[in-house]
């Protein structure tokens, strides 16, 4: 490459080492340490151990505060007391019975809301006419805060199981509707076109392209709606319940039994967690085609 160099003036001999060598310090080398070496003991521990560390630390801190008197039992009972209260409630059968009642409400509400929400989403997702008829209506109703409907539900349905189940179903239906509908509409138009070019008819497209494509959205909707279902359960049970976890909590409130209240909260959390695990398993089974980023 002679282009960039001006010819040296005649009679002047250029010593190449003079121009470049002295100013050049050797590059600062850094070792690239293999990932396996750098990994600390905590990082090499199994995933579930790592995940358990945070909650356990929090629990230990709580116990310490309670034992040292910083946290008064009337404000919040110590983990030990709560564990004992929980054991007692399980032993005398109160808690399992309450859990059974609450669980039944959630399952019935979830099924009802799930069927309604999914059906509406299919109607408006799969046809223009359905969209025009259903979507605007649902979007309008969605703006009403569903918790605010409790008084109406009580007037319409009384104070038995019906208003509680209806409340859960309502919350579930909206979430499922929105996500399934968005999932259907979000299916790649190129794939639908490919399906058409392969000779799939309308039903074939729905079955082989649209519905599988909407499944990730539906699973997200299921997660949201499960969270909503537990929330709706808490709301529903805090009014006029004569059984269930919410009833247990209300009772405990009257006697300042913070331990029982926390036990009930833990049970709510536990049920919510179980539901989440079920959805995760479902996702792993139904969405195994989807490679997911798992982090490092």
Partner 1 sequence: MATDLHRPVKETLAPDPRSAASAGAPEAAVRVAGLTRAFDGRPVIDDLDLTLRAGEFTALLGRSGCGKSTLLRVLAGLDREISGTVLVPRRRAVAFQAPRLMPWKRVWRNVLLGLPGKPERAVAEGALAEVGLAERAGAWPKTLSGGEAQRASLARALVREPDLLLLDEPFGALDALTRIKAQQLVAELWQRRGCAVLLVTHDVDEALLLADRALVMREGRIAYDTPVALDRPRGVGSPGFADLRARLLTELGVEGGGGVEGKGRAHGGPGAPADEKPSVAAGPSGPGPAKAPDESSAHPRHGDAS
- State the residues that interact with partner 1 by CB under 8 A: 190-191, 193-200, 204, 208-209, 212-213, 215, 288-291
For the bound state, the minimum distance from the C-beta of residue 122 to partner 1, rounded and expressed in Å, comes to 18
244: left (phi over 0), alpha (psi -120 to 50) or beta: left
For the bound state, the minimum distance from the C-beta of residue 212 to partner 1, rounded and expressed in Å, comes to 4
193: phi then psi, degrees, rounded to nearest 5: -65, -40
For the bound state, the minimum distance from the C-beta of residue 204 to partner 1, rounded and expressed in Å, comes to 7
Name which of 68 and 288 has its Cβ closer to partner 1: 288
For the bound state, the minimum distance from the C-beta of residue 294 to partner 1, rounded and expressed in Å, comes to 15
For the bound state, the minimum distance from the C-beta of residue 287 to partner 1, rounded and expressed in Å, comes to 8
Name which of 54 and 199 has its Cβ closer to partner 1: 199
Alpha helices, DSSP H only, in the chain? Answer: 16-20, 35-38, 41-44, 47-67, 79-91, 94-126, 128-130, 136-142, 150-157, 161-185, 189-197, 202-205, 211-237, 245-254, 258-286
Give how far Cα 52 sits from Cα of 28, 58, 86, 269, Å.
41, 10, 21, 16
Name which of 21 and 189 has its Cβ closer to partner 1: 189
Name which of 48 and 289 has its Cβ closer to partner 1: 289
Residue 184 and residue 129 in contact, taking contact as beta carbons nearer than 8 Å: no
Token representation of residue 75: 């404000």
Name which of 157 and 282 has its Cβ closer to partner 1: 282
């Amino acid at each position: 490459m002679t282009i960039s160099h001006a010819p040296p003036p005649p009679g002047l001999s250029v010593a190449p080492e003079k121009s470049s060598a002295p100013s050049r310090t050797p590059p600062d080398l850094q070792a690239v340490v293999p990932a396996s070496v750098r990994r600390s003991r905590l990082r090499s521990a199994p995933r579930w151990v790592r995940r358990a560390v945070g909650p356990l630390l929090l629990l230990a801190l709580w116990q310490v505060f309670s034992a040292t008197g910083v946290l008064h039992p009337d404000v919040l009972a110590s983990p030990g007391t709560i564990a004992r209260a929980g054991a007692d409630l399980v032993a005398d059968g109160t808690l399992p019975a309450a859990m059974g009642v609450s669980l039944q409400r959630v399952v019935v509400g979830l099924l009802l809301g799930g069927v309604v929400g999914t059906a509406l989403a299919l109607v408006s997702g799969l046809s223009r006419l359905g969209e025009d008829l259903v979507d605007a209506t649902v979007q309008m109703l969605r703006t009403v805060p569903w918790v605010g409907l409790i008084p109406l539900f009580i007037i319409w349905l009384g104070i038995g199981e019906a208003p509680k189940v209806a409340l859960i179903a309502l919350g579930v239906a909206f979430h499922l509707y929105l996500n399934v509908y968005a999932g259907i509409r979000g299916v790649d138009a190129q794939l639908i076109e490919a399906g058409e070019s392969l000779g799939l008819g309308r039903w074939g497209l729905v079955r082989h392209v649209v519905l599988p494509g909407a499944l990730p959205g539906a699973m997200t909707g299921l997660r949201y709606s499960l969270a909503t279902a537990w929330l709706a359960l808490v709301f529903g049970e805090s009014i006029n319940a004569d059984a269930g976890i919410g009833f247990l909590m209300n009772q405990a409130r009257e006697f300042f039994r913070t331990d029982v209240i926390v036990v009930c909260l833990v049970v709510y959390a536990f049920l919510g967690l179980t539901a989440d695990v079920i959805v995760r398993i479902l996702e792993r089974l139904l969405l195994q085609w989807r490679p997911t980023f798992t982090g490092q």
